[in-house]
Amino acid sequence: MKKLLLLPFLLLTAHAADPEGDYGWVNLLENDSLELWQNGSAGSREKHPEAGPQWSIKDGVLKLDKSAEGRGGHIITKEHGYFSFELKFEFIISEGGNSGVKYRVNDESIGLEYQVYDDAGTEKNKVACLYALKGADEDKKKVNAPGTEWNTARILAVGNTLQHWINGELVMEIEVGSDEWKAAFAKSKYKDVKDFAANPGPIHLQDHGSDVMYRNIMLRKVMDTE
């Protein structure tokens, strides 16, 4: 594991990384508010800048309810400067449901994705995978029941190192630019995307037509010292 330095959300002072510490964390759902989020669709954001009413938050739980009236749609953080960071969150995906947490996305929301999914009936792109690029280790992965039980997730993206964790287990790790990466990228749907995942972007919560809940979405920037 590379040595990391933490960057506070607004300050530039760096401190040694402490995976279990509380330095530099930002609660993206603080005070039951979506103040840090906006409409994720660039095409409709000028007319509808805020998250659609199918997204609601109560008692710390952010919910996408597709049966509710009004807009849903993707939502993204107003802050677009996330490249090297640690993100922790909990989720419940509905039975048969599909969602995802995307990062290092471009203006068209194309980028990396931690798959949030009910694995039943699918053989690829299962929960906690790096969507369309690398699967999660099924031998290490333990997933709680969809629709009722919370899962804990963690994304660590530092320089070229990408890690996906679920319920305390590291289940996906890859180095951007490695032979493994190049082979996967060349076969992927992203192979013709210029500068794919090469720049900072917002954190993106996906509306893929399914009910989903998130809570304890905590983020801190980190710095790769190598």
How do beta strands 85-93 and 55-58 pair? unpaired
Top-confidence residue, 60 or 18: 60
Could you read off the pLDDT of 179-223 as tens digits, one per residue? Answer: 999 999 999 999 999 999 999 999 999 999 999 999 999 999 998
Q: Is 15 exposed, middle or buried (0-12, 13-18, 19+ CB in 10 A)?
A: middle
Task: Give the CA-trace dihedral at 11, 13, 17, 19, to 10 degrees.
Answer: -20
Q: What is the pLDDT at residue 16? A: 36
Our measurement of the distance from residue 91's CA atom to the centroid of its chain's CA atoms, rounded to an integer in Å, reads: 11
Q: What is the pLDDT at residue 21? A: 53
pLDDT surpassing 70 at residue 54: yes
Q: What is the pLDDT at residue 15? A: 34
Distance in angstroms (rounded) separating the CA atoms of residues 74 and 100: 10
Could you read off the pLDDT of 131-178 as tens digits, one per residue? Answer: 999 999 999 999 999 999 999 999 999 999 999 999 999 999 999 999
Tokens of 67: 């049966």
Fold classified for 36-216:
Jelly Rolls (2.60.120)
Distance in angstroms (rounded) separating the CA atoms of residues 59 and 46: 29
Average pLDDT value over all residues in the chain? 91
Q: What is the pLDDT at residue 124? A: 87
Residue 23 pLDDT grade (very low, low, confident, very high; cuts 50, 70, 90) = confident
Q: What is the pLDDT at residue 22? A: 58
Residue 7 pLDDT grade (very low, low, confident, very high; cuts 50, 70, 90) = very low
Domain chopping of the chain, boundaries = 36-216
User: Alpha-carbon torsion 206, 119, 136, 16, what sign?
Assistant: positive
Distance in angstroms (rounded) separating the CA atoms of residues 97 and 82: 27
Residue 14 pLDDT grade (very low, low, confident, very high; cuts 50, 70, 90) = very low
Contact of 106 with 195, CB cutoff 8 Å: yes
Q: What is the pLDDT at residue 17? A: 43
Could you read off the pLDDT of 65-102 as tens digits, one per residue? Answer: 999 999 999 999 999 999 999 999 999 999 999 999 99
